[in-house]
Structure 1
């Protein structure tokens, strides 16, 4: 009997993972050098303010698997290719010179309907450690937050000169004898390039499977990395640069791996340290990692087993056992369901001699990404279970849980003013949420596959209009303009408006009022609380999925296929837009010249719809 073969994969995988790798066969892949192209007239982005021209396409070399790397198996019997432990190429950008910083458009105006309103309400009702000192009151009045762990003397910074000195890791990664590091390739004239480079230029750190590259994007030879690290037993999945500690001679980089190990890397001195070695604290992969804002030593890692772990770059690791007094109480032999966050170790714990500093369990499913709010108080976390969880991470509490339309949520970011959260996920939707109103604002339709990254463009945001972008597995880059007045009225609300002048059926008015109150979720029911005061905010508001008929829809102003492989990262700079793809393509689009359309924002607010050029710029 003739059996049809399974269909080919929709998208290709990195070349180093040909079909032979799944059964241990040798893979005939030879590592090559990075390649850069400067296409002329290729893949322009047409938007209302002008044309974004593709400046260059830097293709990173995909390293072949290490000979000791275990064969990759895929449990799907119909799979034609293995699934490598990779999340695609991600970038961390850093400038050491007087480059213009990201505009902080709303840092002084957070008090009008923003997240500071929620914070002040809670602090007035429930007194905590924030109201004990005058300095904390000053922080609140200026919209800023205290440092994470500030109230714990065990986490106090050392006094004296040693506390002001920038510490570096102890191990030389070039001369390392660790089995975790395969080899390090340094550029032969790296020292000369560093001394002669433009101080206002951008460094980029990029991961591609088991390789990690340090690039100088301001160099004429940007395709030649300053350093390239190859690892043996793991693939790097995520990384971040500490903006607080960076200087002309020092950069702190952290990397999370598929083995759970974390690397603290200082590229100027080529020193490194290995944290969570062999998974002593948590042995699941690190899906996302970020430095905690305002901290020199502390960073947060999201592990695939649903835990958020706070590490200190300078502490030794210790085998972790949950602190019994931090485990939620049990009712009828089951964990307390009202607790949306299990604090396995609190940041306020006095036991801070070793890592971890804190551990929070959110779920048993994978945490895909998280993002810190601009006020450095809230944390937005998206998980494979399809939930968006908003935390007050200073108090170690989950405030709200929102749910995707269906499937898991993959990516998340905050608006520059902290009023809105944008997520993307497996439902092919980009969703806008309002933290102040604690509800969904709009669903954005335009992608044909999973949305892998979302980001705001702070240089195109003002008091009236927000610009953000999204990329996905459909190889598309989409741009969106959003303001409350631009949203289409949902169908259900249109029907309600038409019925205002009609005869009201008895009982309908009460039903409509009850539904409005239940969907807004501004009033939390305390019917299941008998022994807790009403000012206790430890309980979490779980918001139901909003029906599509009651949710505003937002179309993109630009949609463009920008490559042949899935796009997995998106970043906005003052002079360009950048993306990176699964197979290592880093593309850069230069912004339009100034003055091409200076009245773009005003036109968008006055023209019905979404501005000129939105139709012609969107591909079918």
Structure 2
């Protein structure tokens, strides 16, 4: 189904694509970019510049002016822009930015986030994470707020800020992740100390530790999280705001109860680091993407990987659910992200514009950065999820995740060996292979093929080819399968390879917990099933929509927003919303 409706060559940039609900069309007048944008050059690339990110917020008190209620922020190179987002009804006016800021090349913006809790027509709070580790808090409308955290000598952390988010529902707390593998909780009303903070252990679990500052008075940071090994690439709060999903360069997804700081679930990439993560609108699933070119679907209820998706040809940079095209059905109850959730959550009407979930006692309001659902009444659950993903291959992929495909039981190959609780292989008297061996690779393509004779031949062309090439117990297909996997999966960076080999950092902070043997060798387990042990999904739409790698994806009620590394923010009209369908585009 991938490439459905394609015309022309594969390298042709698409300006429209077709789904089951109709045709999505690109609106060129609604394109946002730097005012003096230069024409695209094939020699460009921007590989060394931070990814172009997009943040939006709807202010609360602009009655009668819906098209002026949303503000959009994006970074490009050393500059940060804030505009009024006019959507599909009015063309973008690039000559009148609300705010424009330029930074030094050592301190370029890498991420940002609006606070929807406090946003009004008179002012908004915008967090900006910088390459040098600093965090700024600004008000682009009034220009009166200008605070800095971890500034000056950067005593808290000197590494790049990879992700920054306001804690959902909080007017003053925010979370910032760094490429050091540390994550910090701040209160914007508190100051950072003048000396280097000293920490004491507060909470510890498998593969993570949480610290607080040793001070007589409360100061920033409130908490420091040390999670896994390598950079923390992104994190996302669940719709009920109770849980936090974190993905890292070591290839692990970790899901925490944010209030109690307990680890409630873990998953592993098929290969390489994980770069992006998002929650389904009902909190039942977490989807992540990364350097294995796949999307990975993890179930909150079953605490395991339930499906993978193959459609990208390079690293997946953003995943996001489209709540507006998800299919709902009546039910007596659902298994959401919270054990207390027995009814359908009330979702927000716009990005970061949230309301309290019905049926979730004492939960914070929802805050979903990349997708927004319209309000639903009654008791219902989602039977078909629409997911979007973009990658460095310049492809936009849309996936329909059916509930029946995501609820299939875990399939262990027929040739796999059952291990008893005593650690002895059943019927053989051989100790379990969990003891140290000379080859401890856990997440490489070669190991996943060579250790399982039931592994099927993997084709990058179509699901039909993959099903046709399934072979069980045939040794002659091992070599071919290994070669096909290497061809279809991109090479991971050197930073992630050490973690795929069960590598333990001897210099890690004292008190942090070392992952167990099982978590270091997850291949072939529910933590990281092989490709023939879980459903392999294909996108219903897979289109090339840019010259440079894609770095942003936001779903709105009337449109879809994408961002490209060349600094171009595109708006795609949903079916029935474009000009000629009752919507008039005003050129100004």
Normalised-by-shorter TM-score class: 0.5 to 0.7
Q: Match of 1:53? A: 25
Judging by fraction of residues, say which structure has more helix: 1
- Tell me, yes or no, if structure 1 residue 229 matches structure 2 residue 101: yes
| 1:83 positional shift | 7.3
Question: Take 1:381 and 1:402, find their aligned partners in 2: how far apart are those partners?
Answer: 10
Measured after TM superposition, the shift of residue 344 of structure 1 is 2.0
Does 2:394 match 1:475?
A: yes
1:394 to 2:270 alignment = no
Structure 2 distance, partners of 1:324, 1:61, is 45
What CA deviation, in whole Å up to 9, does each residue of 1:492-532 have, x standing for no partner? 57979xxxxxxxxxx79xx9xxxxxxxxxxxxxxxxxxxxx
Q: TM-score by structure 2 length?
A: 0.62
Deviation digits for residues 571-611 of structure 1 (CA, Å, limit 9, x no counterpart):
000000110011111111101128xxxxxxxxxxxxxxxxx
Query: Quick one: distance in 1 between partners of 2:411 and 2:59?
Result: 52
Of residues 113, 120, 123, the one that matches 1:250 is: 123
CA 1:89–1:554 in 2, change beyond 3 Å: closer, same or farther?
same
Unaligned stretches of 5+ residues in structure 2: 1-12, 38-42, 329-381, 416-425, 431-513, 578-588
Change (3 A) 1:82 1:553: closer
What's the Cα RMSD here?
3.5
C-alpha contact (below 8 Å) 1:203/1:216 kept by paired residues:
yes
Query: Is the alpha carbon distance of 1:446 and 1:42 closer, same or farther for their aligned partners in structure 2, counting shifts above 3 Å?
Result: closer
Show the counterpart of 1:342.
209
Aligned residue for 1:465, secondary structure, equals strand
> Cα gap change, 1:296/1:98 in structure 2, threshold over 3 Å: closer, same or farther?
closer
How far apart are the structure 2 equivalents of 1:342 and 1:62? 45
CA contact (8 A) 2:31 2:92 kept: no
> Which residue is equivalent to 1:273?
147
Contact in 2 for aligned 1:341/1:397 (Cα 8 Å): no
Q: Secondary structure at the match of 1:477?
A: strand
Are 1:465 and 1:482, in contact at CA under 8 Å, matched by a contact in 2?
yes
Matched, 1:259 2:132: yes
CA deviation after TM superposition for structure 1 residue 339, in Å? 3.5
What is the aligned counterpart of 2:324 among 449, 459, 464? 459
Deviation sequence 1:395-420 (CA, Å, 0-9, x none): 12222221110000000000000000
Contact 1:58 1:587 in 2 (8 A): yes
Aligned with residue 180 of structure 2, among 305, 325, 348: 305
CA contact (8 A) 1:322 1:344 kept: no
> Secondary structure of the residue that 1:460 maps to in structure 2?
strand
Distance 1:389 1:325, change over 3 A: closer
Using CA pairs below 8 Å that are at least 6 residues apart, which structure has the higher relative contact order? 2
Counterpart CA distance in 2 for 1:42 and 1:554 is: 23
- Unpaired stretches in structure 1, ≥5 consecutive residues: 1-40, 65-79, 100-194, 329-337, 497-506, 512-537, 595-620
| Alignment partner of 1:576 out of 559, 570, 573 | 559
Query: Is 1:91 aligned with 2:63?
Result: no
Equivalent pair of 1:491/1:549 in contact (CA under 8 Å): no
Give a deviation string over 1:8-27, Cα, whole Å, max 9, x none.
xxxxxxxxxxxxxxxxxxxx
User: 2:200 corresponds to which residue?
Assistant: 324
Contact kept? 1:307, 1:361, Cα under 8 Å: yes
Mapped partners of 2:558, 2:185: distance in 1: 34
Deviations 1:430-467 (A, max 9, x none): 11110110011111000000000000001112221110
What is the 5 A alignment of 1:104-183? Answer: none
Superposed counterparts of 1:344-359, under 5 Å: 344-345=211-212, 351=216, 353-359=218-224
Q: 1:491 to 1:300 in 2, by over 3 A?
A: closer
Q: For the Cα contact (< 8 Å) 2:99–2:141, is it kept in 1?
A: no
Check 1:494–1:460 CA distance in 2 against 1; reply closer, same or farther (3 A cut).
farther
- CA shift, 1:485, in A, is 2.1
Does residue 1:548 correspond to 2:535, yes or no?
Answer: no
TM-score, normalised to structure 1, is: 0.59
| Equivalence map 1:395-474=2 (5 Å) | 395-461=260-326, 462=328, 463-474=382-393
Q: Distance in 2 between matches of 1:44 and 1:383?
A: 34
Aligned residue pairs total: 401
Residue by residue, what CA displacement relative to the aligned partner does 1:9-47 show, whole Å, maximum 9, x if unpaired? xxxxxxxxxxxxxxxxxxxxxxxxxxxxxxxx9611110
Question: SS at 2:24's partner residue?
Answer: strand
**Residue 376 and residue 198 in structure 1: after superposition, are their counterparts in 2 closer, same or farther (change >3 A)?**
closer
Aligned partners of 2:398, 2:175: CA distance in 1, in Å? 29
Partner of 1:367: 232
**Cα 1:439–1:352 shift into 2, 3 Å:** farther
Q: Distance in 1 between matches of 2:403 and 2:22?
A: 24
Determine if the alignment matches structure 1 residue 288 to structure 2 residue 163.
yes
Q: Deviations over 1:506-562 (max 9, x none)?
A: x79xx9xxxxxxxxxxxxxxxxxxxxxxxxxx9999454212111111111111000
Deviations 1:297-346 (A, max 9, x none): 11000011000101111211113434335486xxxxxxxxx642211217
Compared with structure 1, are the counterparts of its residues 244 and 472 closer, same or farther at alpha carbon in structure 2 (3 Å cutoff)? same
The separation in 2 between residues aligned to 1:546 and 1:351, in whole angstroms, is: 48
Secondary structure of 1:248's counterpart equals: coil
CA shift, 1:491, in A, is 11
